[in-house]
Amino acid sequence: MGFFLLLFITMFYPTVEDQWVSVLNPITFSQNTIEHVLNDGGYAILSAGRNPATWTDLQLNDKTIQKRSEQLVDDIKDTYVYSPVIGVYDGGIETSFFILLHNDSPDDELEDLIQLGKKYNQDSIIYVRKDKPTIEQLIYTSGHYQGRHVEGTGYQKLPFNVTDNYSKIKLCSNITFTFTLNFNFKYMFIDKIRIRTNQLINHHNRNHEANKERCRN
């Protein structure tokens, strides 16, 4: 009960002292908590991994990517409660961070997350605002589609043998929870204008091919 109370305070009452947030990190969720957050919103998923849409990023070695991930942790650890996540994005394995949002200034918070995506040259970030209905978006933060987004409709819990576009988070008692978010890449949003297009499907197919090519070399 104490853990849930502390988590509740952290999620809904942002602390004045940064060290209180930092002390909690990285946090280990219970399955009930992670499912509650996935259902109700108020989280983001960020990475500092390789951007498959950028050739120079694909040439970076593991040591450089590790350093970039450490820098991202430094950027978030005093502001957000987070948990590391192993994920696969368009065929590329990466370390991501599942971040709990404060939800008190959502527009400012979103802008902060977008700037982090740009700073680490990420193809996209995932942002799920706690709202009614929940706002679930994959937002492109670099390249040709920067500033555009797709929308999703909830999450799906996955079995252990999935191979692509999933996130895997370690919970209490060493349980692993694997999930994916249901984004519709057939519709691209430019601000509030919805456009039916195959551009993003083709974009992610190119990302897949770039990741395959990197693994072959």
Which tokens go with 162? 């999935």
DSSP run (H or E) holding 74: helix 62-76
Give pLDDT tens digits for 153-211: 999 999 877 778 899 999 998 899 999 999 999 999 999 999 999 999 999 999 999 99
Are 142 and 117 a contacting pair, CB within 8 Å?
A: yes
DSSP β-bridge partners for residue 99: 44, 82
Task: Determine the Cα–Cα distance for residues 69 and 89; give it in Å rounded to an integer.
Answer: 16
Question: Can you give the pTM of this predicted structure?
Answer: 0.89
Are 143 and 54 a contacting pair, CB within 8 Å?
A: yes
Please say whether the dihedral angle defined by the alpha carbons of residues 81, 110, 69 and 17, taken in this order, is positive or negative.
Answer: negative
Burial state string for 36-47 with b = 16 or more CB within 10 A and e = fewer than 16: ebbeebbbbbbb
Give pLDDT tens digits for 109-154: 999 999 999 999 999 999 999 888 889 999 999 999 999 999 999 9
